Amino acid sequence: MFSTLFHYPRVLARHRNGPSADDRERYLAHCAEGGAAHSTLLSLAPELLAISRRIVLDSGRLILPAEVEMAADRWVRYQRRHQRIVTGRFSRERFIQTATAWLRFLGQLQERLPEAPPFVDLVQRFDSYLREERGLSPHTIHNRCWHVQAFLCWLSEQGSSIDEMQLEQVDAFFALRQMQGWSRVSMASLAGALRSFFRYAGEQTWCSKKLAAGIEGPRLFSHEMLPVGPKWEDVQRLIRSTDTDSPHDIRDRAILLLLAVYGLRSGEVVALTLDDLDWEHDILHIGRPKQRCKQDYPLAAEVGEAILRYLEQVRPHVASRSLFLTIRAPFRPLVSTSLHYLVNRRLRVLNISCRHGGPHSLRHACATRLVAEGLSLKEIGDHLGHRSAYATRTYAKVDLTALRQVADYAMGDLL
Q: Are 256 and 370 in contact (CB under 8 A)?
A: no
3-state secondary structure of 322: strand
pLDDT in the model for residue 83: 82
How big is the CA angle at 362 (ends 357 and 366), to the nearest 5 degrees? 150
Tell me the per-residue pLDDT of 224-267, one tens digit each, with 9 for 90 and over. 555 677 888 888 999 999 999 999 999 999 999 998 888 888 88
- The CATH-assigned architecture of domain 120-213 is Orthogonal Bundle (1.10)
Closest alpha carbon to 193 in 149, 131, 138: 149
Rounded mean pLDDT, 169-193? 90
Residue among 210, 294, 355, 387 flagged as catalytic: 294
Report the 10 Å Cβ neighbour count for 345.
12
pLDDT in the model for residue 332: 87
Residue among 24, 54, 364, 386 flagged as catalytic: 386
Amino acid identity, position 314: V
pLDDT in the model for residue 292: 67
Judged on CB neighbours under 10 Å (0-12, 13-18, 19+), 257 is buried
Q: Is 360 a catalytic residue?
A: yes
Residue among 315, 360, 364, 369 flagged as catalytic: 360
Q: Are 314 and 303 in contact (CB under 8 A)?
A: no
Specify the DSSP element, H or E, that contains 163: none
For a pLDDT cut of 90, what percent of the chain falls above it?
Answer: 27
pTM across the whole model: 0.67
Q: Is 265 a catalytic residue?
A: yes
Q: Is 310 a catalytic residue?
A: no
Q: Is 363 a catalytic residue?
A: yes
Q: Is 356 a catalytic residue?
A: no
What are residue 380's DSSP bridge partners?
Answer: none
Helix 184-203, helix 120-128: angle, nearest 10: 90
Comparing 54-63, 183-192, 333-342, which segment has the lowest mean pLDDT?
54-63
Residue among 200, 262, 310, 395 flagged as catalytic: 395
CATH placement of domain 232-404: 1.10.443.10
Tell me the per-residue pLDDT of 144-156, one tens digit each, with 9 for 90 and over. 999 999 999 998 8
CA–CA dist 324, 328 (Å, integer)? 12
Order of strands across the sheet that contains 293-298: 277-278, 283-288, 293-298
Where in the chain are the domains? 1-106, 120-213, 232-404
Residue among 147, 251, 265, 369 flagged as catalytic: 265
Residue among 363, 364, 369, 383 flagged as catalytic: 363
- Which CA distances in Å does 2 have to 19, 35, 102? 14, 17, 16
Amino acid identity, position 393: R
pLDDT in the model for residue 230: 82
